[in-house]
Chains A and B, each alone.
Chain A
């Protein structure tokens, strides 16, 4: 039985003709003793949404976190291979990890607004970069909240705590906080898995609009979501040595309707995973 997938034709057109923003080259990440992902090659196209799908434990999050060096924070994690951002390896010696994370922002699975006001949450990044001017900050905050489709709901209570918002609003606040830094790439680690269907829909709409200005990489457990919002899909699977590897990559419409690999077909039709 084929599950119902919403795949529209424009996404095939969107999938083509775009320049390379990031490129993963033969990437392996090892935690203390076990390999999490191995030998991954993956292009990330500019102003497109790339979805990373695959069963639990296949290293989707590890791969995502390798794109802005968040794995640096995990003791014992070792990275081999290269991740290019505009042609430059972000793991090269002398690269400033702070600058990389400014250019490659991240939104997490559980909304994690900081324990401060909505305004301060969004202004956090610009202030971190030394921006102090109230008038500029005001404008940045408004712009970012508008882009995150949250402005109308919070404009009258910018002083209230970010943690007082609903789950969906919190996640949009986190997105606003991320885009206030004007990153080039936004990484999203299952951004809707803690949200209800309505909030999920809002975020998905938002992602569709955000790709006009940003390159987006999203990890998702939800295959319909990947089919709905992404232009490209990478399917990861866990090998017998428990390390994740790339099974298939391609335009989403191809991966979902005409997969090259049997394994991909089995996974997207729900036969395993």
Chain B
């Protein structure tokens, strides 16, 4: 070697500077982590403490008591949230997954570009606008508020979240895997369903969880569509239907046709009422909402861990 870099560098001084910079940056990143964690822990602990105080068994099994009367629960909101999120999931998840597979198989067609662009637009649309849209095309047409309308707008909100995360996760699956299945003569749909989907399952489920968490926490769009209903009780709808010998389809129809309440909607309404019990119950609702999202996450992770263990051990 005619020219050596070490004739031009003071290595020792350079290393000293690097170490100093390293220490400062490490301290800074540590600090930012702490700053990022503080609000998260704070909110969680605060809500759990505040809400936990007012949580009683009654809270889960009773409809709201009249204003100013102690007791009562939010069964109407729990059931309403469940019905609407289930409907939203049943519509949005299959749609999003199928569309994601389309994007994977035909990534560069005009339709794919349009789909990607409009999904991004949809994801960025304020949820209250989507609620207004639901009001215009469902509520004004049916001439009444309903759990159905609420579920539909929640589906629209879930769709882009699940679709884009599913696409990203499917893209991470090595193309050789799909080609391997195709090379054995598997039709494209079977390769997608049996090989690509399981390989991407972990990430897709995370995306689905995010979508559900998003839907279950939405308030604004429900104001225009589900409206709210203190007397929404599935048990009663079913028993009334049975008494009048209605078909299961008809009963299901009634469940979706009624205006319904939801947890965030109830939280919003209760928090601004002048009655102490209602404000306390609002905290309890916040507790339940957080617990639901947390529980969903933990359940999904536990299931994934179980699945992984089963796949990689003999």
Docked-complex contact B14 and A130, CB < 8 angstroms = yes
Contact among A96, A99, A131, A213 for B5, CB-based, below 8 A = A131
Q: Determine which residue in A99, A129, A131 has the highest number of CB atoms from chain B within 10 A of its CB, and name it.
A: A129
Q: Which of B68-108 contact A (CB under 8 A)?
A: none
Return chain A residues, CB-CB under 8 Å to B6: 182
| Cβ distance B92 to chain A, nearest Cβ, rounded Å | 36
State whether the Cβ of B34 lies closer than 8 Å to any Cβ in chain A: no
Docked-complex contact A213 and B18, CB < 8 angstroms = no
Closest to A129 in B: B9
Contact among A96, A98, A99, A182 for B4, CB-based, below 8 A = A182
Contact among B5, B15, B17 for A182, CB-based, below 8 A = B5
Among A2-10, A16-24, A136-144, A187-195, the one that faces the other chain is A136-144
Return chain A residues, CB-CB under 8 Å to B8: 131, 133, 136
- Assess A96 versus B2: contact at CB under 8 Å? Given A129-B9, A131-B9: no
Closest to B22 in A: A98
State whether the Cβ of B314 lies closer than 8 Å to any Cβ in chain A: no
- Assess A213 versus B1: contact at CB under 8 Å? Given A129-B9, A131-B8, A182-B6: yes
Return chain B residues, CB-CB under 8 Å to A96: 15, 19
Docked-complex contact A143 and B15, CB < 8 angstroms = no
Return chain B residues, CB-CB under 8 Å to A133: 8
Docked-complex contact B15 and A140, CB < 8 angstroms = no
- Assess A139 versus B3: contact at CB under 8 Å? Given A130-B9, A131-B8, A133-B8: yes
State whether the Cβ of A55 lies closer than 8 Å to any Cβ in chain B: no
State whether the Cβ of A43 lies closer than 8 Å to any Cβ in chain B: no
Closest to A179 in B: B1
The count of chain A contact residues (Cβ–Cβ below 8 Å) is 16
Docked-complex contact A98 and B15, CB < 8 angstroms = yes
Return chain A residues, CB-CB under 8 Å to B17: 130
Return chain B residues, CB-CB under 8 Å to A99: 11, 15
Return chain A residues, CB-CB under 8 Å to B5: 126, 129, 131, 136, 140, 180-182
Contact among A98, A143, A181 for B3, CB-based, below 8 A = A143
Secondary structure at the A interface, as helix, strand, loop or mixed, is: loop
Return the CB mask of A126-161 against B: 1 if under 8 Å, else 0. 100111010010011001000000000000000000
| Cβ distance A250 to chain B, nearest Cβ, rounded Å | 32
Contact among B1, B2, B9, B18 for A98, CB-based, below 8 A = B18
Return chain A residues, CB-CB under 8 Å to B9: 126, 129-131
Contact among B2, B11, B19 for A129, CB-based, below 8 A = B11
| Cβ distance A213 to chain B, nearest Cβ, rounded Å | 7
Q: Determine which residue in B5, B6, B18 has the highest number of CB atoms from chain A within 10 A of its CB, and name it.
A: B5
Bound CA span A180–B9, Å: 14
| Cβ distance B13 to chain A, nearest Cβ, rounded Å | 8
| Cβ distance A28 to chain B, nearest Cβ, rounded Å | 24
Return chain A residues, CB-CB under 8 Å to B1: 143, 182, 213
Q: Determine which residue in B3, B6, B8, B15 has the highest number of CB atoms from chain A within 10 A of its CB, and name it.
A: B8
| Cβ distance B66 to chain A, nearest Cβ, rounded Å | 58
Return chain B residues, CB-CB under 8 Å to A130: 9, 14, 17
Bound CA span A126–B14, Å: 12
Return chain A residues, CB-CB under 8 Å to B4: 182
Return chain B residues, CB-CB under 8 Å to A213: 1
| Cβ distance B25 to chain A, nearest Cβ, rounded Å | 14
| Cβ distance A105 to chain B, nearest Cβ, rounded Å | 13
Closest to B13 in A: A130
Bound CA span A136–B2, Å: 11
Return chain A residues, CB-CB under 8 Å to B3: 136, 139-140, 143
Return the CB mask of A216-228 against B: 1 if under 8 Å, else 0. 0000000000000
Return chain A residues, CB-CB under 8 Å to B15: 96, 98-99
Interface residues of B (CB under 8 A from A): 1-6, 8-9, 11, 14-15, 17-19
Can you pick out 12 interface pairs between chain A and chain B where the beta carbons lie within 8 Å of each other? Answer: A96-B15, A129-B5, A129-B9, A129-B14, A130-B17, A131-B9, A133-B8, A136-B5, A139-B2, A139-B3, A143-B2, A181-B5
Interface residues of A (CB under 8 A from B): 96, 98-99, 126, 129-131, 133, 136, 139-140, 143, 180-182, 213
